[in-house]
Structure 1
């Protein structure tokens, strides 16, 4: 078990919701628009980043009046390890600073990246179905979120890398001091090498987990990490210095981990994931999610959020999904419009009926 005593205050359409006495399987059932995915989004914000919807903070606070200004919201939860409360974690905004995210851990102020040191959060949503045909940037974000399971400090390096790259672009555009450019490129190389190495390590570990899976009933994907430049600090630093004229003309850095790509092909056919059917793509995403769940639950609590997954699987795949989730260590949260698809796990699950942003325990 990972999270319990979860509270949502003025978050999306939830004025004040609480989920206690959670279980390994946790089901949120209700009509479309009831607020099920809002609960998953709240849980996803108990980790670094912008959550499963990547929404702006100002859009998250509940607005009783559509014309009202952005207010404040709060999300909290107790973290459970071996039946004992190990931490109280939370994230919130303030009414006078609705676009600034704040975090508290055990009553003390903390950074969002510190949340990944306590537990891992993974998710699969319908919006991710187009991952393989989306931009390379979307796949990098997907990899970076998963990399937190391997290295909790990964978020700090990705943030520092992005800041350093923006600063380098400005200096190249304005012709800033060469010594300052040297210093900024050292930061790009230092953080960029760590980011690239973490990504490469993640893909290697995922590949090992995926290779152990049978090809059916979920299509087994083969993952390949394609770095956008050197992943060694010294080599990346030298390449950045050589590429200054080219990057100045392009207005951006053309070499580095911000150009990385994740290539995915289906093992049984060798076809690129982007050209596979939507059903095959969904099956490969589920396989990746299950493999990552094994990594995420190694050595610390983990949470897996599955939005509207069960209803779109045939009975064979649904039964296999529940079997693997039951064997896993991650606490599982799933949504659905009805209980029927969850018949196999209904007796062992904590279930809430969601309606109009209100929760009722069944």
Structure 2
């Protein structure tokens, strides 16, 4: 089974005024100087899944300047036994819109036909910075298995924002709180269950895997101790915590306070205490484990977006990464400053040269 973009057109997106690519299911190696627009191509591909893409940017920020006309991305997606024509666009900074096979669709519909994972340099500090980034990392992995996770997260955030407003205003209406806490408990329990199932799937995918990358032990923790994960227990805990939350002006317990801790399994060392190279290897390991698990769960490996990953791995690990991508039969989109970084891929990949002239990116296929 295959999941691959066989055609991609980018119009007025970031540094690209127009860019067209005809592709097959092999990995895609994009190379060119820093600032040429390689990552912008990966960002465009990341929009074939629900959410704000790998940079978490607004639609307005993705618009090419100085024209500011809006942007459009069109792709032909081979998804299992089906082929879909997908249009994604924004007009003059407005919210992004989606059409699948010529029909208007919600962003969440993309999650039913495509799976996209990414690893970008900004994630290299994942283990040593704040919990928010690790939650986002976990939720991206969770969303890849459970598209409904996005809807549960949105429902939880809406109810929590309204509850926080009541808390800040000192409102005492128990019925009002009860209704919002019921919504938070329902969606919060679903969020927690999906996250924990994702960790189990990742652990299973790492177990006995033939990989050159270290196994990462992952644990879901909480900033305020153990947070009840069942719907009834979370509903009760939210009610009992109202006075404390009112003093703080915000909700202090719930899945929005969760954290992800990781450890280098073979060395029993927390990920935050590992070397920079080990932390990078752990991230690569998790992305590959996520891809292996998805290949079984979805029926095809996901699209992998690996920005500058080759430059941060030694030659042996780089070759091992390419071999594992080949074994997965994944269409991995990888960026690097020169073609030599992809030398061991040889004909297993297709090559795209990205250049830049006077602020405009250009795409060519040298071989």
TM-score with structure 2 setting the length: 0.92
In structure 1, distance between residues paired with 2:33 and 2:240: 57
Matched with 1:38 is 40
Structure 2 counterpart of 1:341 = 341
Structure 2 CA distance, aligned partners of 1:153 and 1:118? 13
1:120 to 112, 115, 118: 115
Q: CA separation in 2, counterparts of 1:5 and 1:337?
A: 23
Within the alignment, does 1:361 sit opposite 2:352 as a pair? Answer: no
Q: Partner residue of 1:91?
A: 88
Q: For 2:168 and 2:289, locate their aligned partners in 1 and report how far apart those are by CA, in whole Å.
A: 43
Q: Displacement, 1:300?
A: 4.3
Q: 1:161 aligns with which of 156, 159, 168?
A: 156
8 Å Cα contact 1:47-1:120 kept in structure 2: yes
Partner of 2:62: 60
**What corresponds to 1:273 in structure 2?**
271
Equivalent position of 1:202 in the other structure: 198
Deviation at 1:274, TM superposition (A): 0.8
- Aligned counterparts of 2:129 and 2:218: Cα–Cα separation in 1: 16
What residue ranges of structure 2 are gaps of 5+ in the alignment? none
Deviations 1:88-122 (A, max 9, x none): 22321112xx1412122121222212211111000
Shift of 1:85: 4.8
Q: How does 1:1-362 map to 2 (within 5 A)?
A: 1=2, 2-63=4-65, 65=66, 70-81=68-79, 85-95=82-92, 98-174=93-169, 175=171, 177-213=173-209, 217-227=212-222, 229-298=227-296, 299-301=298-300, 302-356=302-356, 357-362=361-366
Aligned length: 354
The superposition leaves residues 288-313 of structure 1 with CA deviations (integer Å, 9 ceiling, x where unpaired) of 01101112233245200111111221
CA distance in 2, matches of 1:352, 1:150: 30
Name the SS for the 1:344 alignment partner. Answer: helix
Residue 346 of structure 1: CA displacement?
2.4
Going from structure 1 to structure 2, the CA distance change for 1:177 and 1:90 (only over 3 Å counts) comes to: farther
Question: What is the Cα deviation at residue 129 of structure 1?
Answer: 0.3
1:205-253 CA distance string (max 9 Å, x none): 1112123236x74222111122561111111111111111011111111
What is the rounded CA distance, in whole Å, between the counterparts of 2:362 and 2:162 in structure 1?
Answer: 45
Q: Deviations over 1:29-71 (max 9, x none)?
A: 11111111100000011111111111222110101x3xx6x43
**How high is the TM-score relative to the length of structure 1?**
0.94
| Structure 1: distance between partners of 2:339 and 2:56 | 28
User: In 1, Cα distance between the equivalents of 2:191 and 2:343?
Assistant: 42
| Cα distance in 2, alignment partners of residues 238 and 91 from structure 1 | 42
Instruction: Supply the distance in 1 between the matched residues of 2:180 and 2:172 (Cα, whole angstroms).
Output: 11
Q: The residue matched to 1:226 in structure 2 has which SS?
A: strand
Q: CA deviation at 1:317?
A: 0.7
Q: State the secondary structure of the residue aligned to 2:127.
A: helix
Partner Cα distance (2:129, 2:107) in 1? 27
- The structure-2 alpha-carbon separation of the partners of 1:20 and 1:176, relative to structure 1 and needing over 3 Å to count, comes to farther
CA distance in 2, matches of 1:180, 1:81: 45
